[in-house]
């Protein structure tokens, strides 16, 4: 049971309209209750940049939280969801710092800026192909479903070493969407759909893992299972990591591309500034998009012991929600935090990829995808404009929103 059930101030974190304008509430929370216990979410929420970074680096907090939802279910449902629980724990060796270290040592070298830069021509080709196919269907293009989602999933599949002819992109996207149900707060039905997606995607990946063992695949599958790999992963562990990449590397990147474009539509003067600078400011603009509306709004951790933060005791076993979207608007760190400014000098301090031992391994790749995507779209379609009066947001709790579609007029560009 939570130790403090009656907070001194109460914030309605489940208000259905909160996602539209969360920052007034989050500013107030950061000012008056920076370590806040939410009874509805049964979680502690941290909103200050320094507290969030501190917990991300603190080994007294454990990174795997999702299994708690399964463990709280009746025994029969727990048994039913055992494969999902195992897959979560196997992801990136997150269950055990030593296993995580092994994972990092084996795979981090594939994500250095230099290695990632080698992917540029492939990513450019994929983006061009998707844009051309989309305009062939008409002058109105749905950037989310016609470009951003297939692009970021194609990049992950390529990275894994899956051959283009082996991948039915629609199928992989469907499974990954089902798995992303775990982004929600974890109702049993969502967990069941998530498990179904994992099992289906796992069955698709298994023969490719077997082929990687025989030396017939390249990319990350070869790095994890190929002859000469230093990793002693079982096939099931390699499949779990493959599933992880299709979830963590895909959904986030696709949302950043779509949210970022929406931000440029919402702030035409910033789009002009980017174009005036010949798009040389895209790396900073990327950080600013991550800061202003990054794809990951909150990250969960579990306290392994009682931990005192700003005089409040977060009890052992409690869930902590690190509000990245609030930390990214902390006025102690960012000047005029509610202004979207693609030339901002402090944008690189954003925490959208987190920091510390578990921070995003794929950030150089995500940055490259962003650079290629915005360069191609803004150059190819200089008159690009939204086709609908209002953005088509869908909400995921708590505090997250993403675009279900983003229909644009390409302005006749090829
Ligand atoms: C804009 C796009 C992206 C965002 C916002 C993002 C964000 C994140 C976040 C918040 C985490 C969790 C960190 C934590 O628990 O402290 C994470 C982990 C991870 N991400 Fe990303 N990510 C993105 C793209 C990618 C891509 C393209 C890949 C690779 C294909 C990738 C691979 C990973 C991996 C492997 C981890 C686990 C790292 C570990 O446990 O050591 N990410 N990412």
Domain contains 31: no
Contact indicator for 380, 413 with CB cutoff of 8 Å: yes
Domains of the chain: total: 1
pLDDT for 3 equals 45
What is the spatial distance between Cα 246 and Cα 400, in angstroms, rounded to a whole number? Answer: 20
Closest residue (by CA) to atom 17 of ligand 1?
A: 360
C-alpha distances (whole Å) from 323 to each of 46, 53, 199, 237, 328 are 6, 11, 31, 30, 9
Is the beta carbon of 245 within 6 A of some atom in ligand 1?
yes
Tokens of 333: 């760190």
- Which one, of 8, 77, 76, 61, lies nearest residue 39 by Cα? 8
- Helix, strand and coil percent figures for the chain, each rounded to 5: 55, 10, 35
Domain contains 97: yes
Is the beta carbon of 322 within 6 A of some atom in ligand 1?
no
Contact indicator for 131, 376 with CB cutoff of 8 Å: yes
Contact indicator for 124, 117 with CB cutoff of 8 Å: no
DSSP state of 297: -
Averages of pLDDT over runs of 10 residues in the chain (414 residues) are 56 89 95 95 96 97 82 92 88 87 93 96 98 94 98 98 95 92 73 93 97 96 94 94 94 97 98 97 98 95 96 96 97 98 98 96 98 98 96 87 96 68
Closest residue (by CA) to atom 21 of ligand 1?
A: 360
Supply φ then ψ for residue 142, to 5 degrees.
Answer: -90, 100
CA 282 to ligand 1 center in whole angstroms = 20
DSSP state of 40: T
CA 174 to ligand 1 center in whole angstroms = 20
Domain contains 115: yes
Which segments of 246-297 are extended strands (E)?
A: none
pLDDT for 6 equals 47
Domain contains 199: yes
Q: Which atom of ligand 1 is nearest to the CA of 92?
A: 40
CA 152 to ligand 1 center in whole angstroms = 13
CATH of the domain at 281: 1.10.630.10
Domain contains 249: yes
Q: Which atom of ligand 1 is nearest to the CA of 56?
A: 16
What is the spatial distance between Cα 37 and Cα 321, in angstroms, rounded to a whole number? Answer: 10
Range of the domain at 163: 75-292+336-409
Closest residue (by CA) to atom 11 of ligand 1?
A: 360
pLDDT for 353 equals 98
CA 75 to ligand 1 center in whole angstroms = 32
Is the beta carbon of 34 within 6 A of some atom in ligand 1?
no
| β pairing state of 407-409 and 400-405 | unpaired
What's the residue count for the chain?
414
pLDDT for 184 equals 64
Domain contains 297: no
């Amino acid at each position: 049971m939570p130790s403090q059930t009656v907070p001194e101030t109460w914030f309605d974190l489940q208000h259905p309209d909160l996602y539209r304008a969360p920052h007034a509430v989050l500013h107030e929370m950061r000012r008056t209750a920076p370590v806040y216990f939410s009874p509805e979410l049964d979680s502690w929420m941290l909103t200050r940049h320094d507290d969030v970074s501190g917990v991300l680096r603190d080994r007294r907090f454990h990174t795997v939280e999702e299994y708690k939802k399964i463990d709280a279910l009746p025994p029969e449902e727990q048994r039913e969801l055992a494969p999902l629980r195992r897959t979560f724990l196997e992801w990136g060796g997150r269950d055990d710092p030593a296993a995580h270290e092994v994972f990092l040592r084996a795979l981090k070298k594939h994500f250095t800026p230099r290695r990632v830069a080698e992917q540029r021509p492939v990513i450019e080709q994929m983006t061009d192909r998707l844009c051309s196919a989309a305009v062939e269907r008409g002058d109105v293009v749905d950037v989310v479903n016609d470009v951003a989602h297939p692009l970021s999933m194609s990049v992950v599949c390529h990275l894994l070493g899956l051959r283009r002819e082996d991948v039915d992109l629609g199928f992989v996207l469907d499974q990954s969407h089902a798995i992303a149900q775990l982004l929600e707060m974890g109702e049993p039905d969502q967990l069941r759909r998530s498990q179904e997606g994992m099992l289906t995607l796992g069955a698709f990946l298994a023969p490719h893992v077997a082929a990687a063992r025989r030396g017939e695949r390249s990319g990350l599958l070869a790095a994890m299972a190929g002859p000469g790999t230093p990793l002693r992963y079982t096939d099931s562990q390699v499949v779990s990591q493959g599933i992880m990449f299709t979830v963590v590397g895909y959904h986030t990147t696709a949302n950043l591309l779509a949210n970022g474009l929406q931000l440029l539509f919402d702030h035409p003067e910033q789009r002009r500034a980017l174009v005036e600078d010949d798009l040389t400011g895209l790396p900073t603009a990327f950080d600013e998009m991550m800061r202003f509306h990054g794809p990951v709004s909150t990250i969960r951790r579990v306290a392994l012991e009682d931990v005192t933060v700003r005089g409040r005791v977060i009890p052992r076993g409690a869930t902590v929600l690190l509000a990245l979207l609030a930390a990214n608007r902390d006025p102690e760190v960012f000047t005029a935090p509610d202004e979207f400014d693609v030339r901002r000098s402090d944008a690189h301090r954003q925490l959208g990829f987190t920091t510390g031992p578990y921070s995003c391994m794929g950030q150089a790749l995500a940055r490259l995808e962003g650079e290629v995507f915005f360069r191609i779209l803004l150059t190819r379609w200089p008159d690009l404009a939204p086709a609908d009066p209002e953005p088509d947001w869908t909400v995921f709790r708590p505090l997250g929103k993403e675009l279900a579609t983003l229909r644009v007029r390409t302005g006749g560009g090829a």
